[in-house]
Structure 1
């Protein structure tokens, strides 16, 4: 490479000499030709001398020059490649938005600015003090009940189990195998809300098939309400939670008439409000519609006086109050709005109020959920390109439960800002000395002593 410049010099002189020869022949002057030849020799001599002087420096200079040119070429090639890749990605993403069918039809909605985490919502690490019990032995203990000598809960594999200090016992199974994966839920069964009845038996909601009375002595599960029959011409796709009044009336939620439980992330992305609240008379099988147009109605709780029910509307971060008795009977109002997250189940607290678990949080200064609420095109894009498991990456890891008083005011909150111990709480069971935390996907039950709760 170092001789390239010398070759260039020699070639240039060769061209000059050739021109001179042609000129001399055209003139036909021998003497002038001799003179020009002498001149050529002088020039060649000078060139050779300069070449010898430059040859000592030429290798490094030429090599540096060539390297600079190669680097510039490489950079241009890389930049050109990046531009082409970016163009291809833009085209692919554009085609995806235009051609790939969307599994959702998102609706635009708005929420108030998320509440500031201060006062009773001030962050703490109390949930990080929780103990994980029966870890690895239970998957997705959504709802918890205590009685008849143990804990009762429904799991992701379709089983309803009883937990005592020494063992876990299967009480009933609502579906049929194979079980163990989300893809099998609709046939395996997915028990969600569970409640004890005054007759001593357990009532359980299966998200796909309906409501069951489980006889604890025999393990038999008797269907008392089926989702096979539409109500008012609309299917029940996602039965979620229930509560039972003293006169045996059953109140329950159906989260959507479009999406099943195994499609709950798509329901959250769509944000549609097709959920309903029903009353079931177990003696006549009559089903009465109480509320409609809710965006994923979830947990439900009858008041201590049984004059109203509370319903968590997950996708709008609020809780409704529906009057069962009194001058407002048959009407509803907002019990609490603008919650710090997406509420799941609601249950009594030992202090006379209510515990609410959260599937995800909304907090300042930025909430992705709130940001996407009024931008349905973003949700369409996500739903087209990513599966439901990937969508969970957008959910911040943060554990949160709050305690409400009887008027719907937040009086206490428990946090795990890291989400490493407790996250995605579905329900809180308050037994007076400890709190127990359910979850729709965690492989354990959380347990926290009152000492840590009220310290």
Structure 2
């Protein structure tokens, strides 16, 4: 019995050693911020159960949503397609182009084109006629592996996130295990063609939104379940502060409704099991050698938050099972249009205004 036990211990030790050596991760210690969980301003509710979901069969993985002033919605799908549909007839979608990658963030510029964040192809300009042009896919000679989201300032400058300099879209979960915080924010000038780094050292830099009058930039730091604020003007120009902290879920894309509200898709609730490993990099390194599908979160949850321009929570919409893994929320004419990584179709929620 004793020999059998020693044998089992030896096999476990060898297996752990193999996983450790095989893993591509080089994890670091990190310390999750506290959270009040789903309490107080984040109390559970079923508000998202009131959504209407359109075009489930055609819109597979609509990760981000943009609606133009004339009522045409645009999104990017898992198969690389960029599609549009009238908000008055959301089941009638048509394919504009295919990036050949995986389009994530999508916004319209002042020239009538779509600007698309594609982690495989780069930051793209897509004409409504279907022409795809690469604007940026590297910086100072290094590839930008995971361009994730962006927003466009009044002068046309594009602020975009590169979620990780270590991992791409196919192994992005490794970034959360490694916690090396290699995400960055860049500014691309269409006028000059120049790209400059604005922020760095972000734990999975995700959603980006320019605030009113281009005074500041919001950035979702998904790995730390918080939203950062980068000051673009005024006495604090160039400084970074905290816009929203201690969130009970992980923020994804951000959009500004143009007047008073930032909408944030909360892609996943915080997982205490993951955060409990924050101080154990050796264990996380071994996990990095396991098949990626084993690491994929299995539980989905629908969650959208609205913040005023000062970071106060002004809207809290949730649902455990109607429309999950919400990555985007975009307001247009009193409706909120939702996108998701794993729920098919575009969900629409009436805001009653």
By the TM > 0.5 criterion, same fold?
yes
Q: Which has the larger radius of gyration?
A: 1
Q: State how 1:275-354 maps to structure 2 within 5 Å.
A: 275-349=183-257, 352-354=260-262
1:406 alignment partner, one of 285, 291, 309: 309
Secondary structure, aligned partner of 1:94: helix
Residue 181 of structure 2: aligned partner? 273
| CA deviation map 1:295-336 (0-9, x unaligned) | 110000001211111011110111111111111111211112
Say whether the 8 Å CA contact 1:350–1:432 is kept in structure 2: no
Please state whether the residue corresponding to 2:233 is helix, strand or coil. coil
Per the TM alignment, residue 285 of structure 1 is displaced from its structure 2 partner at its CA by: 1.5
Give the 3-state SS of the residue equivalent to 2:13 in structure 1: helix
Whole-angstrom CA distance in 2 between matches of 1:162 and 1:195:
12
Kindly tell me the number of residue pairs found equivalent between the two proteins: 347
Flag the structure with more relative contact order, 1 or 2, with Cα contacts below 8 A and sequence separation at least 6: 2
User: Match of 1:191, SS?
Assistant: coil
Structure 1 residues 369, 330: CA separation in 2 closer, same or farther (over 3 Å shift)? Answer: same
Matches within 5 A, 1:70-85: 84=4
Retained in 1: the 8 A contact 2:115–2:123? yes
Aligned match of 2:13 = 94
2:130 corresponds, among 212, 219, 236, to: 219
| Structure 2 portions without partners, runs of 5+ | none
1:428 to 315, 325, 329: 329
Work out whether residues 114 and 367 of structure 1, in 8 Å CA contact, stay in contact via their aligned partners in 2. no
How far is the alpha carbon of 1:432 from its aligned partner? 3.5
Q: Is 1:151 equivalent to 2:47 in the alignment?
A: no
Aligned twin of 1:204? 116
| Counterpart residue number, 2:168 | 260
CA distance in 1: counterparts of 2:9 and 2:96, whole angstroms: 54
Question: How many Å separate the matches in 2 of 1:438 and 1:250?
Answer: 22
Is 1:317–1:343's contact at 8 Å kept on the other side of the alignment? yes
CA RMSD of aligned residues (A): 2.2
Deviation at 1:289, TM superposition (A): 0.9
Q: Residue 46 of structure 2 corresponds to which residue in structure 1?
A: 125
Unaligned runs of 5+ in 1: 1-79, 176-188
CA distance in 1, matches of 2:259, 2:199: 29
Instruction: Measure the CA separation in 2 of the matches of 1:113 and 1:303.
Output: 27
Q: Post-superposition shift, 1:103?
A: 2.3
After superposing on structure 2, the runs of 4+ consecutive aligned residues of structure 1 that deviate more than 6 Å are none
3-state SS in 1 of match to 2:34: coil
Counting only pairs closer than 5 Å after superposition, residues 37-76 of structure 1 correspond to structure 2 as none
Q: Which secondary structure state, in structure 2, belongs to the residue aligned with residue 247 of structure 1?
A: coil
Shift of 1:89: 5.5
Structure-1 separation of matches of 2:251 and 2:29: 20
For residues 133 and 196 of structure 1, the distance between their equivalents in structure 2, rounded to whole angstroms, comes to 22
Instruction: Note closer, same or farther for the CA distance 1:127–1:351 as it changes in structure 2 (3 Å cut).
Output: farther
Q: Which residue of 2 aligns with 1:134?
A: 55
Partner deviation per Cα, 1:37-77 (whole Å, 9 max, x = no partner):
xxxxxxxxxxxxxxxxxxxxxxxxxxxxxxxxxxxxxxxxx
Instruction: State the TM-score, normalized to the length of structure 2.
Output: 0.91
CA-to-aligned-CA distance 1:398-445 (integer Å, 9 cap, x gap): 2211111111122321112x3x21221101011242212111232222
What's the TM-score, normalizing by structure 1? 0.72
Q: Is the 8 A contact 2:37 2:247 kept in 1?
A: no
* 1:229-285, Cα deviation, whole Å (9 max, x unpaired): 4x2454311011111112111111111111001111111111121111111111221
Q: Take 1:413 and 1:312, find their aligned partners in 2: how far apart are those partners?
A: 17
Q: Distance in 1 between matches of 2:239 and 2:341?
A: 31
Cα distance between partner residues in 2 of 1:98 and 1:435: 49
Q: Summarize deviations over 1:360-379 as a string: whole Å, max 9, x none.
A: 112xxx72232122222332
More displaced, 153-162 or 348-357? 348-357
Contact 1:319 1:336 in 2 (8 A): yes
SS in 2 for 1:224: strand
The one-character-per-residue Cα deviations of 1:104-142 (angstroms, maximum 9, x if unpaired) are 111210122222422221111112232221112111111
Q: How far apart are residue 152 of structure 1 and its match?
A: 0.6
